[in-house]
A and B are shown apart, each in its own frame.
Chain A
Amino acid sequence: MDNRRYFGPGGWVLRVLLAAALAVVGAGLGLALTAPAGDPGLTAGVRAALPASGAGNPVTAVLLNFRGYDTLLEMAVLTAALAGVWSLGRAHRTRFIRPSPVLTALTRVLAPLFPLVCGYLLWAGADHPGGAFQAGAVLATAAVLHVLSAPERGPRLPELPLRLAAVAGLAVFLAVALGVMTGGARFLEYPPALVKWLMLAIETAAMLSIAAILAGLFLGGRPGQPDD
């Protein structure tokens, strides 16, 4: 009997399962569209608590203070994802492609702008749209451009700083979360006097971590010299 008709790609079982999953998603979307907008949500509560949060931007306040636990777990997930990719092997170039002069020239022009934009996004994140994720993504883009425009035997991303940066976000976040407990507070309960600076420290470390993790994922393997 040919099992592929039932289980392989395009088989009946897969089709029925996909159809069921799609039907569930469609039903959920339909329910969400037809549901009455009676629940006011948490907007008012967040706005009321904003002055005590240490940030003027409600998104930053929710991410790092009110729901800091979620962001902590998110950093853990990102770090674990990078560990998973790096455990598969070392980064190696399957094919070297000479970087085009346009790319190298553009990278030279953009290089000084990346730290500037990155620092602005990080600092502005307290009161305006921005924050660690966006700043980290900009920094990661700089690293990706650096990798793409490097000549064949040129500089790679430094191995030790990349490894340290990758775990810095989770480490600082955990250190702050546990450190406040020595003062009698609960896990992740920032003391009001220090809240702004603790959040800034977490954001800075998280930015470095996110940049290192995204760049590390782009490398597709552990940094350093290839084995072969």
Chain B
Amino acid sequence: MTAAVALDAILVVVLLWVAWASLWSRDLFRGIVLFISFGMILSIGWIRLGAPDVGLAEAAIGAGLTGALLLATWGSLPRGSGTPEGEDEPDEEHDASDGQ
């Protein structure tokens, strides 16, 4: 019982922390990766709430496909936008794992 409560408490804290880090990340790529992690942790949360259907959908759509869409969008942004240094930075090739 106490172990379950401790697990839930850790889940809540980590979930809020990852959400905060994803929203406030100054690097877009970092924010997207944190968003995908947020989806995975959230799906564990749904399973803990006794809703495995929602957990499966969250993992597949919320984390997987939304993450792929966000990464594809990030890959087609102009180089250097969304980094803390701004657009003027002569950055190296985005090795995005997108296909667009």
Task: Give the complex CA separation of A140 and B76 in angstroms.
Answer: 21
Whether B99 and A134, one on each chain, are in contact in the complex, defined by CB atoms closer than 8 angstroms, is no
A68 on interface, CB distance cutoff 8 Å: no
Whether A141 and B64, one on each chain, are in contact in the complex, defined by CB atoms closer than 8 angstroms, is yes
CB distance from A197 to the nearest CB of B (A): 22
Q: How large is the interface on B (under 10, 10 to 19, 20 to 34, 35 or more residues)?
A: 20 to 34
Whether A137 and B99, one on each chain, are in contact in the complex, defined by CB atoms closer than 8 angstroms, is no
User: What chain A residues lie within 8 Å of B96 (beta carbons)?
Assistant: 97
Task: Given A129-B56, A134-B60, decide whether A103 and B65 contact each other with a Cβ distance below 8 A.
Answer: no
Nearest A-chain residue to B65, judged by Cβ:
A214
User: What chain A residues lie within 8 Å of B72 (beta carbons)?
Assistant: 218, 220
Task: Given A133-B57, A137-B64, decide whether A217 and B100 contact each other with a Cβ distance below 8 A.
Answer: no
Task: Give the complex CA separation of A217 and B55 in angstroms.
Answer: 22
Whether B76 and A218, one on each chain, are in contact in the complex, defined by CB atoms closer than 8 angstroms, is no
User: What chain A residues lie within 8 Å of B60 (beta carbons)?
Assistant: 133-134, 137-138, 141
Whether A131 and B69, one on each chain, are in contact in the complex, defined by CB atoms closer than 8 angstroms, is no
A59 on interface, CB distance cutoff 8 Å: yes
Whether B57 and A134, one on each chain, are in contact in the complex, defined by CB atoms closer than 8 angstroms, is yes
User: What chain B residues lie within 8 Å of A182 (beta carbons)?
Assistant: none
B87 on interface, CB distance cutoff 8 Å: no
Whether A148 and B76, one on each chain, are in contact in the complex, defined by CB atoms closer than 8 angstroms, is no
**Which among A93, A121, A217 is the interface contact of B99 at CB below 8 angstroms?**
A93
CB distance from B39 to the nearest CB of A (A): 12
Which chain B residues in 42-80 approach chain A with CB under 8 Å? 52-53, 55-57, 60-61, 64-65, 68-69, 72, 75-76
A179 on interface, CB distance cutoff 8 Å: no
B92 on interface, CB distance cutoff 8 Å: no
A153 on interface, CB distance cutoff 8 Å: no
B98 on interface, CB distance cutoff 8 Å: yes
Which chain A residues in 55-84 approach chain B with CB under 8 Å? 57, 59
Whether A147 and B64, one on each chain, are in contact in the complex, defined by CB atoms closer than 8 angstroms, is no
Which chain A residues in 156-207 approach chain B with CB under 8 Å? none
